[in-house]
Amino acid sequence: RVDQIFVNMERLRWMPPPRERRYLVVNVPAFDLTAFEDGKPVLRMPVIVGRPSRPTPMFYDRMTEVTFLPSWTAPVKIARRDILPKVKEDPEYLERNRIKVFSDWSANACEVDPRSIDWASVRPENLVQKFKQEPGPQNALGTIRFTLENDFDIFLHDTPHKELFAKPVRGFSSGCIRVADAAALAEFVLKENVNWPRDKIEEAMAGDHTFVVNLTRPVAVQVAYRTAFVEDDGTMEFRGDTYGRDRHLGRVLGLASVP
């Protein structure tokens, strides 16, 4: 445990906690998110992070906008690795999940009838079509998307699969971060905007059209990897090395006993 603490202290040198008055910290191995205001935690919730084969990276960023009832355009890798096999397996998959198909990835791509494509003959590396899921309760992003600025194309969002939050180990996503209580997080993020009280947030989540709210003051977001940390009451906590990063860093630092 001493070596595990040492590894985490080394990692803190690279990316100390944000200094802004209001910020979020996502701790990947703890599968949780904490919102801070004036140095004190004011909100905490479980999150779902990237599976080991598609890990969530560590980074420091800014949240710039909140989108209610977002649509979802599947990234190329997810379209090829996840959606295409499901389409081949189930001809009704696209219609059932309200996913539209577009001819290509260009800005002026036209929508095409998925029944006009021989999906069985499409290989992942040759897939040129774009998949876009319509807003709604079953949308992969749920009812709210929290937009960040990073180059990893990672952001925070709601999810229709609330049942996964009951799992003790929550590495299920393709890298993005799913939050357990999107309404509470939106309330924190939009706190300085008097036009967006909790009841209006819930109304927008239950609405019938997409709505984007730009943050006049972006909220700092840190996505961290801390397997050893101290709770507010002084309790020392340890978590599993989800992505094997402690073991790797321990070897680099010459530590043999990192769990």
Instruction: Residue 101: count other Cβ atoms within 10 Å of its Cβ.
Output: 20
Residue of 97, 87, 77, 75 whose CA lies nearest to 118: 87
Tokens for 161, please give them.
């699969």
Tokens for 98, please give them.
């309200």
110 is catalytic: no
CA 195, CA 193: separation in Å to the nearest integer?
5
176 is catalytic: yes
What one-character-per-residue DSSP string does 165-181 give?
GGSSS-EEESSSEEES-
Tokens for 256, please give them.
């043999």
Q: Are 213 and 68 in contact (CB under 8 A)?
A: yes
CA 161, CA 72: separation in Å to the nearest integer?
15
Phi, then psi, of 194 in degrees rounded to 5? -65, -15
CA–CA distances in Å: residue 97 to residues 4, 6, 47, 120: 44, 47, 23, 19
Strand order in the sheet with 99-102: 72-73, 130-133, 99-102, 111-112
Specify which residues 67 forms β-bridges with: 145, 212
Tokens for 185, please give them.
């997080």
End-to-end CA distance of the chain: 8
Catalytic residue among 110, 157, 161, 248: 157
Catalytic residue ranges: 157, 176
